[in-house]
């Protein structure tokens, strides 16, 4: 199955009128060609943890893919935030886990872990997030990067899990996404990457997502 998504920066640099953001969301609502909208992440952009909920409140169709870096939030806090947002979104939420990216941009938010370490950390991060979403009794976690005690969430995702999307074309990104993502995100016309994901994937991501534009 292939779904189509576009990118959106809901609040532009220096913009102070949220009505313009609402207009962009309404324009996307009128499109029948877009399944989801990626709300990206950068350390210099307006924070998508604020803009994504605002966009959801302005639309009954908006289905966001909220980009998220494991290094900027503790995993249990992230699990709680995204579970709550998914309930408010009536199950329309997906999360794009961003592991790589610009080292300079990562260091702006005090994340100086080397790339290989970031992928190891992301595996533990996702394991803990998913466990927090599904466990019904308190549990402890003691790992290489994280320790958490008596973890229990009152809010749970509508479908039990929030879908995890991954992207990227490096060997590390393809391998990580094939093993740990529910859906793999591709730029348009990336058949070699798609084949690479399929051959490496024990999880068999159920959909590829082709990017068809940006806003």
Q: By the 8 A CB rule, do 92 and 62 touch?
A: yes
Nearest to 53 by CA among 44, 38, 66, 71: 66
pLDDT digits (tens, 9 = 90+) for 144-178: 999 999 999 999 999 999 999 998 888 888 889 88
What percentage of the chain exceeds 90 in pLDDT? 58
Measuring CA to CA, how many Å separate 45 from each of 7, 11, 42, 109? 14, 8, 5, 12
pLDDT digits (tens, 9 = 90+) for 178-189: 889 999 888 765
19 or 3, which is more confident: 19
pLDDT digits (tens, 9 = 90+) for 66-117: 999 999 999 999 999 999 999 999 999 999 999 977 899 999 999 999 999 9
Angle ∠(24,28,30) on CA atoms, nearest 5: 120
Could you tell me the pTM of the whole model? 0.87
Q: 2-214 belongs to which CATH class?
A: alpha beta
Phi then psi for residue 6, to 5 deg, are -130, 160
């Amino acid at each position: 199955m292939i779904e189509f998504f576009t990118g959106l920066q809901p609040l532009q640099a220096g913009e102070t009128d949220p009505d313009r953001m609402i207009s962009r969301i309404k324009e996307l609502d009128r499109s029948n060609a877009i399944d989801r909208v990626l709300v990206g992440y950068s350390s210099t952009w307006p924070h998508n943890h604020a803009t994504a909920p605002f966009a959801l409140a302005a639309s009954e169709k908006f289905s966001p893919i909220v980009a998220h870096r494991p290094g900027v939030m503790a995993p249990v806090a992230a699990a709680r935030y995204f579970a709550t947002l998914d309930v408010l979104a009536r199950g329309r939420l997906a999360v794009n886990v961003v592991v790589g990216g610009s080292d300079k941009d990562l260091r702006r938010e005090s994340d100086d872990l080397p790339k290989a370490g970031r992928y190891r950390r992301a595996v533990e991060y996702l394991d803990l997030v998913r466990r927090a979403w599904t466990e019904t009794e308190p549990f402890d976690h003691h790992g290489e990067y994280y320790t958490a005690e008596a973890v229990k969430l009152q809010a749970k995702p509508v479908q039990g899990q929030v879908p995890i999307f991954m992207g990227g074309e490096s060997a590390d990104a393809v391998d990580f996404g094939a093993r740990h993502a529910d859906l793999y995100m591709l730029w348009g016309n990336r058949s070699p990457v798609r084949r690479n994901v399929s051959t490496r994937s024990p999880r068999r991501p159920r959909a590829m997502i082709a990017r068809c534009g940006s806003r």
